[in-house]
Structure formats: structure tokens, C-alpha cells
Amino acid sequence: MKIAIIGVNGQLGSDCSTILSTENETVGCDIPEVNIGSRESVDNFLDTNRPDAIINCAAYTAVDACEQETELSWQINCDGAKYLAQAAERLNSRLIHISTDYVFDGHKKVPEPYIESDTPNPLSQYGRSKLAGEKAVSKYASNHVILRTAWLYSSSGKNFLKTMLRLAVSGPDRELKVVNDQYGSLTWSYTLALQIQKLLHSDLNGIMHTTAEGYSSWYEAACYFIPA
């Protein structure tokens, strides 16, 4: 199977490349070589490589910055998803698209989880743009899987655990303040990549929630990762 990994330099894209390249032919792209906010850039890359499957790990994920750079975030998270979905349909490729728990409002009582049948209600531009991307994938790609995940971490890329480690090492006497009212499930991107590997060879379509088991607040996660 020939697999195109979009956003291959990110933490999930990197793990997908490591796992999938052992038994498949993989081609990866990232900015600046391919800009998924440009239909021409997407089509040039995919028409040249003609993959059997496309994994979209690319996204504008800076949640706060999305509020100021709204147009850019929608180009990547919504328009980019649409261009990939339309290309996947044209090339008869399977599309696996990575989405987020930010499509929900977080009003459920802990520890009740969100499930696939819950109605999305994003509160941020990031969440709205990602939900719009989901709708585009559902509309334009008949062979697709949308994976909603959360709190990804790995040894590469930027993530919460690496930020905590950097702050702790650079200032061991510094008091770190971490919010204790937001809950989620820390999810190792390598595990998610293994799930993607299985989904590539399945007949499953539609939306699926994919995180690790268990939950914590950001504060609890930081205390566990860097004990006092």
C-alpha cells in the first residue's frame, strides 16, 4: 500500500511514518513543501504520488493564536481538509483525518466522556475550524475515517509534557502554575499511530474517538510527570 502522510514532521506524522514505512511505501510532506491551504499545492503532491491512503496529521493547533489568525487557521483546518477529501475521492484513496476534542464545549461532568453521537458545540475558532474540516471530509470523501483525539504527546514536536520538563530543568526553583479545572486523557501519539495502522486495513468509516484510557487535569498530569 502506498500511503501519503500529510504533516509528516509533527509528532503524530513522525510516528505514523516510523510504523507504516516498515510494511508500506510511504511519502510524507509538510510545510513549506506542501501547503494544504492551497488546492493547487495539495493536488500537485497527491497527483504526483497517487497514494492508496492519505493520513492528514496537519493542522493549525495553536488554540489561542487561532483567535487572532482566524483566516489562516480556517485555511489549514477547514479548506485543507476539503482539498484533501476532494483529492482522495478523485484518486479513490482512503482518507484518515485527525480531529480534536475541541469540537465539544467541555460542559459534561467529569469523568463522563464524550462519545461519537454527542452533538459538537465548539467554543473556540480552533474548534470551529476543525469541526468545519470534519464536515468537509464527510461531504467530499466517501472512504474516510475522522479520528477525534486529545492531549497528544511524544518525544518529538511540541507538547505539554515537554514544556513542563523544559521549564522544570531551566528553572528548578521556579514555581510552576498549571490549571486544575481542565480534564482530558494524555494520549501517546505512537499508540494512536498503531490504531491508524489497523484502520487503514479495515472497512470502518465515519467518526471515532481515539484517546488513551483514564483522565486527569493538566495539574495532575504535571504533578505525576514531575513529582515534587
164 inside domain? no
- Copy the grid coordinates of residue 218: 493538566
224 inside domain? no
Per the structure, the complete domain to which residue 99 belongs is given by 2-157+186-213
Report the C-alpha gap between 104 and 116 in whole angstroms: 11
Name the domain count of the chain.
Answer: 1
91 burial (CB, 10 Å; 0-12 / 13-18 / 19+) is middle
78 inside domain? yes
174 inside domain? no
179 inside domain? no
Exposed e or buried b per residue across 151-170, where buried means at least 16 C-beta atoms within 10 angstroms of its C-beta? bbbbeebebbbbebeeeeee
95 inside domain? yes
Phi, psi of 56 (to 5 degrees): -95, 95
- Residues labelled as active-site residues: 126
What pLDDT sits at residue 40?
A: 98
- Copy the grid coordinates of residue 222: 504535571
Give just the sign of the alpha carbon dihedral 20, 200, 15, 6: positive
139 inside domain? yes
Give the CATH number, domain containing residue 29. Answer: 3.40.50.720
What pLDDT sits at residue 60?
A: 95
pLDDT tens over the chain, length 228 residues: 999 999 999 999 999 999 999 999 999 999 999 999 999 999 999 999 999 999 999 999 999 999 999 999 999 999 999 999 999 999 999 999 999 999 999 999 999 999 999 999 999 999 999 999 999 999 999 999 999 999 999 988 889 999 999 998 998 888 889 999 999 999 999 999 999 999 999 999 999 999 999 999 999 999 999 886
pTM listed for this prediction: 0.95
What pLDDT sits at residue 138?
A: 98
What pLDDT sits at residue 228?
A: 67
143 inside domain? yes
